[in-house]
Amino acid sequence: MIKKLSHAGIYVLSYDSARQFYTEKLGFEVRADMKMDDRFRWLTVGPADQPGLEIILMEPGPPQHDADTERQLREIVAKGALGMGAWETDDCRKTHEVLSSRGVTFLQEPADRPYGVEAVFRDDSGNWFSLTQRHEFDEGKDWGFSSTR
């Protein structure tokens, strides 16, 4: 049976630029960076506090994609229409301050939400992510949305 998610992929426009962004700006660790053959690079990163998760940073192109698909994927990524995810933090406002000082572009400043404090940023390829500090969930509190827990 399936036990856990170990790898998740993000399309990026440049391996080298993405590696620099995810390590120097977000503070992630490089987990793997190797050439699999002349056309395929296996580059994974992840947060230090989550050693069992590897984020695959992958450029669209051969051998997975033909030239037309590669062009389409690059356009979609650059528009910010493909990538998304949520990164958890203990202090959204402080993390926003640190990441902003490192040059990370935020689309939304930290704001209170029913589920916690959230900011939204983009990586250097155009992918967007939620940066979220979750509130402790209280079943008895009216959060303004329907809970399925």
CATH label of the domain that carries residue 116: 3.10.180.10
pTM for this structure? 0.87
- Please report whether residue 75 resides in a domain: yes
- Please report whether residue 114 resides in a domain: yes
Residues of the chain with pLDDT under 50: 149
Return the amino acid letter for 24: E
pLDDT of 99 reads 98
- Please report whether residue 141 resides in a domain: no
pLDDT of 149 reads 47
Considering its fold, how many domains does the chain have in total? 1
- Please report whether residue 146 resides in a domain: no
- Please report whether residue 36 resides in a domain: yes
Residue 48, domain extent:
7-134
- Please report whether residue 144 resides in a domain: no
- Please report whether residue 140 resides in a domain: no
- Please report whether residue 142 resides in a domain: no
